[in-house]
């Protein structure tokens, strides 16, 4: 049995914009249609919830890695709930578990995950981000960080990456 490719979708919770949520939903859908699993922080709002919803409604596997010590308040679209009880400490697990991270919107928690991904040599795709954000993360992450405007470009980059990096 091959282990599942896992795509982490990272973005703001409470402060997600309607555009962030729409983008995250469509991204989760696109990931599911490729047969990959979608992973988020698993809460019931914002980008975390929207991406899981998009994936779940398109028969994709969904994983929520929860900061809390129980599954209370988690997204109803998370099929598998990993309960860490480690607060923001779970952000590292999101990053290490995901084969690729895709970033929709920005927040402090999101910025910590992008930074940890770079630190741990995981690939990160910034989706439709502001110039300042792109420039900051390119400065510290160089080739590990890519920047695109649309979901088809995200999927195409991931396919390229997977074609060169067989799943462990």
User: DSSP H helical segments within 1-71, as ranges?
Assistant: 18-33, 46-56
Phi, psi of 60 (to 5 degrees): -90, 155
How many residues belong to the site for a second copy (CB under 8 A)?
A: 54
Query: Does 37 participate in binding a second copy (rule CB under 8 A)?
Result: yes
Can you state the percent helix, strand and coil of the chain, rounding each to 5? 45, 20, 35
Query: Does 156 participate in binding a second copy (rule CB under 8 A)?
Result: no
Nearest to 113 by CA among 4, 11, 7: 11
Binding to a second copy (CB under 8 A) within 41-100 occurs at 56, 61-63, 65, 69-72, 74, 76-89, 91-93, 96-97
Query: Does 165 participate in binding a second copy (rule CB under 8 A)?
Result: no
Which whole-number Å values give the CA distances from 96 to 1, 20, 48, 152, in the listed order? 21, 23, 17, 24
User: With respect to a second copy, which residue has the nearer C-beta, 150 or 167?
Assistant: 167
- Contact residues toward a second copy (CB under 8 A) are 1, 3-4, 6, 37, 56, 61-63, 65, 69-72, 74, 76-89, 91-93, 96-97, 106-112, 115-116, 118-120, 132-133, 135-136, 139-141, 168
């Amino acid at each position: 049995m091959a282990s599942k490719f896992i795509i982490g979708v990272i973005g703001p919770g409470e402060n997600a914009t309607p555009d962030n949520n729409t983008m995250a939903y469509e991204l989760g859908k696109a990931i599911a249609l490729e047969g990959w699993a979608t992973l988020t922080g698993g809460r019931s709002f914002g980008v975390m919830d929207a991406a899981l919803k998009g994936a779940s409604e398109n028969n994709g596997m969904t994983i929520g890695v929860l900061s809390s010590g129980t599954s209370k308040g988690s997204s109803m679209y998370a099929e598998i709930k990993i309960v860490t009880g480690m607060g923001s400490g779970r952000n590292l697990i999101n990053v290490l578990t995901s084969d690729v991270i895709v970033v929709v919107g920005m927040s402090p928690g999101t910025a910590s995950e992008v930074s940890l991904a770079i630190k741990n040599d995981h690939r990160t795709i910034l989706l439709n981000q502001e110039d300042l954000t792109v420039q900051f993360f390119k400065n510290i992450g160089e080739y590990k960080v890519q920047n695109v405007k649309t979901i088809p470009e995200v999927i195409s980059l991931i396919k390229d990456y997977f074609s060169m990096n067989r799943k462990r």
